[in-house]
Amino acid sequence: MANHKATKKDARQAAKRRERNRYYSKTTRNAIRKLRAVTDANEASEKLPSVMSMIDKLAKRGVIHRNKAANLKSKLAKKINSLAGAAGN
């Protein structure tokens, strides 16, 4: 356990940040899961911007790497586009 006043504070801050990051991560993961489960192209295209925003915020906060964020967004966009293409045919 930390002995100095500053290290005790740092431990408290780290715990707070970890909880916050876990919350944002889990919320985003669930949003991605729900978006992937959607089969209606219109509904999916409505939800896509908010999910992409959540992913961007995770990358900005440093919870996930920016390349992982880009890969997630790319795969989601590809899936939504395939839904739109299937609906158009």
Mean pLDDT by 10 residues, the chain (89 residues): 89 96 97 94 93 97 96 96 78
Residue 17: count of CB within 10 angstroms of its CB? 13
pLDDT recorded at residue 84: 79
- At 38, is the secondary structure helix, strand, or coil? coil
Residue 70: count of CB within 10 angstroms of its CB? 13
Which residue type does 58 have?
L
pLDDT recorded at residue 3: 86
| Structure tokens given for 45 | 């295209």
Distances (CA, A) of 7 to 1, 15, 47, 49: 9, 12, 42, 40
In this prediction the pTM is 0.84
Domain ranges of the chain: 42-89
pLDDT recorded at residue 47: 94
- Widest distance between CA atoms in the chain: 67
Residues 16-30 have pLDDT tens digits of: 999 999 999 999 999
pLDDT recorded at residue 28: 97
